[in-house]
Structure 1
């Protein structure tokens, strides 16, 4: 299942910085049962608890942290500072403020280490392009329909019988990660659908056992899924970055 620690950090730290939740609730929601530590936090020489990063953000006057999900060729939302793009591309995600960026790296099932990058003096990067939540939900519907038709033609169900059931269940109830209680319900629903579709992508992009997928079939599959992958990435970004009006 899609796990986006930088998304949790972005949405909950923003809620805390703007007075919409408590420090303890924010930290608990970000960390869960996993140990989190930060290296490279300005003013520190060793790994420190993640809570120090929250305090550092407030100390510098931050009010908003955004999730960025970079991919090769699209690093919009990342300030141009040495090393940040490489770190974020390697992790596939980053939590970016105006003065500090944080990139998570799982060190096993129980520990996440965050690399802090000082953004002092860096030109602010334009935030990721985000449409309205409802518009993105519509784009996701279109991408799902197009991908489903192509995948049916490729007989994907024979390789991965779970995929049709996942696609058929998109209209049902799905769970999203814990979000601040005042989060727009549209953002919650959008994130839940995107997580289910990420599971579809994981399955669909896995070659069938025994090499049953030909090179041509794999190329057609990947081409068909690219718009869906882009739509899922945009939906996840917008859902975690949604701020109540």
Structure 2
């Protein structure tokens, strides 16, 4: 759980569609050093630059996009459109609107997006909770995971993880979001991104990082609530709308 191009698209497209930022600022923030091509947009099925697709969103009547992070067994937030769920699960993310859903496939030089027109399909209900609830859930999950992991006798536990967990007390807002984005959302996203790094380290040796299967199972059980809390926090932070 590292990079969320669908989250950036959701937050910046929403900021532009709602008049909170300019088209040029949104496009600059979205593209960065990569080329972006979008295939399958309504009325323009051929691959086109992201800027063309961004402009088309307003013509389609979109008012906002939302980030969805589907995982096996939980594709809530994805409309029931043929082919969308498998693509969303493969990418692990999607930017969902009322008229179209965009799924990224990042590459070393090009981010290739596939658009799934909804064509009258009922939009899926939003899945994000409140920022305060997401922040509280992160606190609880971190505490539970840290206590459980400290009690496990892991043969190859990463010594940097406790320092990363302790570093969460220092506020480090996530960069690269609109200037008027909710400060709490910036803080929650920053914490979630650092916790995602903790999860990567904690699971990088699985299953050989534990002394035995019982300990590996205990570790995975300890990390599962933290992984869920990080996912929920990322979604809530990217989908927050300034008051």
Q: The TM-score by the shorter chain falls in which range?
A: over 0.9
Q: Does residue 126 in structure 1 map to residue 125 in structure 2?
A: yes
- Mapping of 1:80-119 within 5 angstroms? 80-107=80-107, 109-119=108-118
2:151 equivalent in structure 1: 153
Tell me the C-alpha RMSD between the 2 structures. Answer: 1.7
Contact residue 209 and residue 216 of structure 2 kept, 8 A: no
> What corresponds to 2:184 in structure 1?
186
> Given that residues 207 and 213 in structure 1 are in contact (C-alpha distance below 8 angstroms), is that contact kept between their aligned partners in structure 2?
no
User: What 5-or-longer segments of structure 1 have no aligned partner?
Assistant: none
Q: Per the alignment, in what secondary structure is the counterpart of residue 37 of structure 2?
A: strand
> What is the alpha-carbon distance in structure 2 between the residues aligned to residue 5 and residue 243 of structure 1?
18
Matched, 1:22 2:22: yes
Separation of aligned partners in 2, 1:137 and 1:50: 32
Partner in structure 2 of residue 69 of structure 1: 69
8 A Cα contact 2:155 2:210, kept in partner:
no
Q: Kindly tell me: are residues 133 and 123 of structure 1, through their superposed partners in 2, closer, same or farther at Cα, counting changes over 3 Å?
A: same
Matched pairs, number: 243
Which deviates more, 47-56 or 203-212?
A: 203-212
Post-superposition Cα deviations, 1:9-60, rounded to whole Å, max 9, x if no partner, equal: 0000000000000001111111111111111122224211011111111001
Q: CA deviation at 1:155?
A: 3.8
Whether the aligned pair in 1 keeps the contact of 2:10 and 2:65 (CA below 8 Å) is yes
Report the CA distance shift for 1:157/1:56 in structure 2 as closer, same or farther (over 3 A).
Answer: farther
> 2:80 is paired with a residue of what secondary structure?
coil
Mapped partners of 2:206, 2:73: distance in 1:
28
Check whether the contact 2:137–2:229 (CA below 8 A) recurs between aligned residues: yes
What TM-score comes out, normalization by structure 1 length?
A: 0.94
Q: TM-score, normalised by structure 2?
A: 0.95
2: CA distance between counterparts of 1:210 and 1:8?
A: 35
Residue matched to 2:60 = 60
Q: Secondary structure at the match of 2:178?
A: coil
Q: Is the 8 A contact 1:99 1:119 kept in 2?
A: yes
How far is the alpha carbon of 1:211 from its aligned partner? 5.4
Native 8 Å contact 2:41 2:116 kept in 1: yes
2:235 maps to what in 1? Answer: 237
Kept in 1: contact 2:17–2:58 (CA 8 A):
yes
Closer/same/farther in 2, CA of residues 119 and 73 from structure 1, 3 Å limit:
same
Query: Do the aligned residues in 1 keep the contact of 2:188 with 2:234 (CA within 8 Å)?
Result: yes
After TM superposition, which residue ranges in structure 1, 4 or more long, deviate above 3 angstroms?
A: 155-158, 208-213
